[in-house]
Amino acid sequence: MERESQPVRRCVVRFVGHVQGVGFRQTSAHAARSHDVTGYVRNEPDGSVELVAEGAESEIRALLDDIQDRMSGRIRHMHEGWSGATGQYDRFEVRY
């Protein structure tokens, strides 16, 4: 997944809004298939959705843009945290 000029990064995103029970996880997973990323998306007990993605920063940002476009009326706020990738994921999945 390493790009010539882009190191692999990790982004943890918390989506807040009307994001559970509306197909958010499945939409995110479907969008992730169009990008060179690994990680997961899951519902949190507080009603938010957590997404962890690893890949080139441009791929992750494109994924987040796709999710925002597809779920625009549902997301009230999103918080991003960036760090180095762990390499622990081999695909992108929905976690339950």
In the set 42, 43, 61, 70, the catalytic residue is: 43
Q: Is 43 a catalytic residue?
A: yes
User: Does an H or E element contain 31, and which?
Assistant: helix 24-32
Q: Is 33 a catalytic residue?
A: no
Pairing of strands 49-56, 8-17: antiparallel
Structure tokens at 59: 């791929």
Block residue for tokens 């994924």: 63
In the set 25, 61, 70, 91, the catalytic residue is: 25
Catalytically annotated residues: 25, 43
